[in-house]
C-alpha cells in the first residue's frame, strides 16, 4: 500500500496510507467494503476492534438472541441467502451469514482485526485523515464510520453496584463461563434483549427477578421454520426469494404512515398486543403491570411468543419499579422492593444518541464530533457532517427504523458513498465538506417531520430521544424515500476542497 512521509519532531516517519479506512465490520462495514470493491476501489482497510466480523451480531450472543426482522429482508440485496432456516433467524445464523459474505466477496485481505480506532483527526494541510489505532498509525483520504449505534453498551450508574459480590454483566457482554443453573438472577430492563433472555434462562434459574421501569408493547412473533423445499426453490429460482423479500418490504412500507403521520391508527395494533398479553397472562394484577401507558410504537415494538408465559411462571417475579441501589447482594428498587440475587444482567441498551465514536473523531476546526453535536446529532442525508471532510457515516443520525430492516437503510447509504466517490472524481477535488447551511436545512426538515410522529407524540421517553428530547435517531419516512434521498449527491450542498493546503 502507498506510504507518505511525515515529520515527527526531528525524525522522519513513514506512515501507511490508504484511500479509504472503514471503521467496523458489521453489516455496515462489510457492506461498505463490498461496495468499494464494486466501485473499483481496492486500496482500503476495514479496522475492527474485535477478533472477527459481525458487529452487534458478534457481540450479542446472549441466550435466545434473534432478529425481529424477517430473514429474507434482513440480508443484503446483493447477497441473498436461500438457506435461512427460519422466518426470523437467530444470532448464530446471522453471524454465519456475515462470515459467508466476507468470504464470498473476498474481503478478508482488507480486514485488520484487534485494531481499535483511538482517534481520527482531519489534517487540513495535507487534506487527509490521520488515524491512531491500537496497532499503530495510518492515514486515509476518506473515512467510512460503520461503528453502528448498538455497539457500546449503556450501564446505569447504580449506587453500590461495585460492591455486589456476584456476577454483573451487560446483555451484549454475556458471561458464557457462568452457569446460571440454580442461581437467583435479576434482569434489569425490559427491552428487545431482555424479552429474549428472560424466557431463555427462566427454566434453569432458581428465581428470576425482572426489573421493569417501563413496560413494552409485545406483539406475537409469527415465526416458523423454512423447510428444505422452500430453500431449494429459493436457491434454484432466485426470483422467488426476490419476490418474498419484496412482499416483506412492501408490507412494512404500508405501516410507515401510522408511525410518522397518523399515530392514532396504532390503536388497532395496541388491541392485538393486548390480546397477545391476555392469552398468556391470566393474573389481572400482572397484566396491569405489563400494560404500557403510551401509544404503541413510541418505544420499539417487541416480538415474542415466550416472554409473557415466562413471566407467569412461579419462579419469576416482575417488579414494576426502577433499580435504585445495590446493598451487598440485595437489589433495591425505587418503590422499596428488595430482593437477594446472585447475578445481575443489564439489558439497558446502548449509547445511541451519544455514540462513543464521537469522542474519537476530530474535525477541521479541532472539535470532536461529540463537541460539534453538543446541540444534537445531525448529518446531511444521514451521511456527512459539516467541518468533517471526507467522513461518511453508515447508520448516521436520523436513519434508524421502527418497523423495517436497517439493511435497506445501509444499502441506501452505500449508494451515497458511491456517489461521493464519483463526485470527487468528476470535480477533481481531494475532499468534499458538507455546507453547514445544507446540514441545518436537512436537519430542520427532519425535526419538522418528526413533530407529528408516534415517537414524539406517543407519550414515552425512549432511546430514540436525546437528553433534550430531540429525536436524532429515527427516519421519519419510508425506506423508499431514503433511497431517493441518497440516490444522487447534490454538489451544491458541498464545498469542494482542491489539493493540499500546503505542499
Under a CB-based contact definition with an 8 Å cutoff, are residues 459 and 487 in contact?
A: no
What would the pLDDT profile of 167-219 be if each residue is shown by its tens digit?
999 999 999 999 999 999 999 999 999 999 999 999 999 999 999 999 999 99
Question: Across the chain, what does the average pLDDT equal?
Answer: 94
Under a CB-based contact definition with an 8 Å cutoff, are residues 499 and 430 in contact?
A: yes
- CA 123/CA 113 separation, integer angstroms: 25
Based on its alpha-carbon atoms, the radius of gyration of the chain, rounded to whole angstroms, reads 24
Cell 447482594, residue located: 329
Q: For residue 501, what pLDDT band results from cuts at 50, 70 and 90?
A: low
What would the pLDDT profile of 303-336 be if each residue is shown by its tens digit?
999 999 999 999 999 999 999 999 999 999 999 9
What would the pLDDT profile of 70-126 be if each residue is shown by its tens digit?
999 999 999 999 999 999 999 999 999 999 999 999 999 999 999 999 999 999 999
- CA 376/CA 116 separation, integer angstroms: 26
Is pLDDT above 70 for 9?
no
Q: Which residues of 29-59 are buried (b: 16+ CB within 10 A; e: fewer)?
A: bbbbbbbbeebebeebbbbbbeeebbbbbbb
Under a CB-based contact definition with an 8 Å cutoff, are residues 354 and 246 in contact?
A: no
pLDDT of residue 16: 96
Angle between helices 27-38 and 91-104 (to 10 degrees): 20
Across 240-254, average pLDDT: 96
CA–CA distance from 421 to each of 76, 143, 338, 344, 503 (Å)? 21, 12, 58, 47, 23
Sign of CA dihedral 105, 110, 116, 121: negative
CA–CA distance from 500 to each of 286, 318, 433, 497 (Å)? 66, 61, 14, 8
Q: Give, for 322, the enclosing helix (H) or strand (E).
A: none
Question: 336's torsion region: left (phi>0), alpha (psi -120 to 50) or beta?
Answer: left
3-state secondary structure (DSSP) of residue 265: helix
Return the DSSP state at 105.
T
Across 129-138, average pLDDT: 97
Closest C-alpha to 57, from 45, 73, 70, 74: 74
CA–CA distance from 423 to each of 96, 226, 420, 482, 487 (Å)? 35, 43, 5, 20, 13
- How far is C-alpha 379 from the geometric centre of its chain's CA atoms? 16
What would the pLDDT profile of 43-64 be if each residue is shown by its tens digit?
999 999 999 999 999 999 999 9
**Grid coordinates belonging to 362:** 476530530
CA–CA distance from 405 to each of 176, 182, 266, 401 (Å)? 29, 38, 20, 7
pLDDT of residue 497: 97
Helix/strand/coil (H/E/C) assignment for every residue in 417-460: HHHHHHHHHHHCCCEEEECHHHHHHHHHHHHHHHCCCHHHHCCC
What would the pLDDT profile of 474-485 be if each residue is shown by its tens digit?
999 999 999 999
Strand ranges (DSSP E) for 39-127?
A: 44-47, 111-112, 117-123
What would the pLDDT profile of 255-276 be if each residue is shown by its tens digit?
999 999 888 889 999 999 999 9
- CA 410/CA 151 separation, integer angstroms: 16
Question: Phi first, then psi: what are they for 170, rounded to 5°?
Answer: -85, 155
Closest C-alpha to 61, from 70, 52, 69: 52
Q: For residue 10, what pLDDT band results from cuts at 50, 70 and 90?
A: very low
- CA 280/CA 125 separation, integer angstroms: 64
Under a CB-based contact definition with an 8 Å cutoff, are residues 351 and 321 in contact?
A: no
Amino acid at each position: 500500500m502507498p506510504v507518505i512521509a511525515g515529520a515527527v519532531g526531528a525524525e522522519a516517519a513513514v506512515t501507511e496510507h490508504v484511500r479509504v479506512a472503514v471503521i467496523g465490520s458489521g453489516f455496515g462495514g462489510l457492506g461498505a467494503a463490498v461496495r468499494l470493491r464494486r466501485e473499483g476501489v481496492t486500496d482500503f482497510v476495514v479496522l475492527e476492534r474485535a477478533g472477527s466480523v459481525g458487529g452487534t451480531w458478534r457481540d450479542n450472543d446472549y441466550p435466545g438472541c434473534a432478529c425481529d426482522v424477517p430473514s429474507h429482508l434482513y440480508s443484503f440485496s446483493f447477497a441473498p441467502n436461500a438457506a435461512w432456516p427460519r422466518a426470523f433467524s437467530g444470532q448464530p445464523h446471522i453471524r454465519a451469514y456475515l462470515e459467508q459474505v466476507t468470504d464470498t466477496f473476498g474481503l478478508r485481505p482488507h480486514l485488520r482485526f484487534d485494531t481499535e480506532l483511538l482517534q481520527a483527526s482531519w489534517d487540513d494541510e495535507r487534506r487527509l485523515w490521520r488515524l491512531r489505532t491500537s496497532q499503530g498509525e495510518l492515514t486515509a483520504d476518506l473515512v467510512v464510520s460503520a461503528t453502528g449505534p448498538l455497539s457500546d453498551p449503556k450501564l446505569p450508574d447504580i449506587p453500590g453496584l461495585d460492591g455486589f459480590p456476584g456476577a454483573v454483566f451487560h446483555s451484549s457482554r454475556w458471561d458464557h463461563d457462568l452457569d446460571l443453573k440454580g442461581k437467583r438472577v435479576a434482569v434489569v430492563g425490559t427491552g428487545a434483549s431482555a424479552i429474549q433472555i428472560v424466557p431463555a434462562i427462566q427454566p434453569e434459574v432458581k428465581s428470576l427477578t425482572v426489573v421493569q421501569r417501563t413496560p413494552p408493547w409485545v406483539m406475537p412473533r409469527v415465526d416458523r421454520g423454512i423447510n428444505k423445499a422452500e430453500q431449494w426453490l429459493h436457491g434454484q429460482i432466485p426470483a422467488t426469494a426476490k419476490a418474498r423479500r419484496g412482499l416483506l418490504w412492501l408490507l412494512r412500507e404500508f405501516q410507515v404512515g401510522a408511525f410518522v403521520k397518523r399515530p392514532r391508527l396504532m390503536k388497532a395494533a395496541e388491541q392485538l398486543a393486548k390480546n397477545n398479553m391476555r392469552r398468556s397472562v391470566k393474573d389481572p394484577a400482572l397484566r396491569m403491570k405489563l400494560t404500557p401507558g403510551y401509544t404503541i410504537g413510541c418505544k420499539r415494538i417487541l416480538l415474542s411468543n415466550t416472554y409473557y408465559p415466562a413471566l407467569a411462571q412461579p419462579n419469576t417475579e416482575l417488579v414494576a419499579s426502577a433499580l435504585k441501589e445495590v446493598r451487598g447482594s440485595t437489589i433495591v428498587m425505587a418503590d422499596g422492593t428488595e430482593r437477594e440475587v446472585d447475578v445481575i444482567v443489564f439489558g439497558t441498551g446502548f449509547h445511541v444518541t451519544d455514540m462513543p465514536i464521537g469522542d474519537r473523531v476530530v474535525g477541521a476546526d479541532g472539535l470532536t464530533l461529540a463537541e460539534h453535536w453538543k446541540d444534537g446529532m445531525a448529518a446531511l442525508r444521514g451521511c456527512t457532517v459539516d467541518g468533517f471532510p471526507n467522513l461518511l457515516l453508515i447508520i448516521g443520525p436520523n436513519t434508524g427504523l421502527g418497523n423495517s430492516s436497517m439493511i435497506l437503510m445501509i444499502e441506501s447509504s452505500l449508494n451515497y458513498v458511491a456517489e461521493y466517490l464519483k463526485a470527487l472524481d468528476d470535480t477533481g477535488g481531494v475532499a468534499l465538506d458538507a455546507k453547514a447551511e445544507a446540514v441545518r436545512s436537512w436537519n430542520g426538515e427532519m425535526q419538522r417531520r418528526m413533530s407529528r410522529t408516534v415517537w414524539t407524540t406517543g407519550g414515552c421517553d425512549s432511546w430514540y430521544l436525546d437528553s433534550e428530547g430531540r429525536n436524532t435517531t429515527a427516519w421519519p419516512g419510508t425506506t423508499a424515500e431514503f433511497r431517493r434521498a441518497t440516490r444522487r449527491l447534490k454538489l451544491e450542498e458541498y464545498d469542494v476542497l482542491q489539493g493540499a493546503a500546503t505542499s
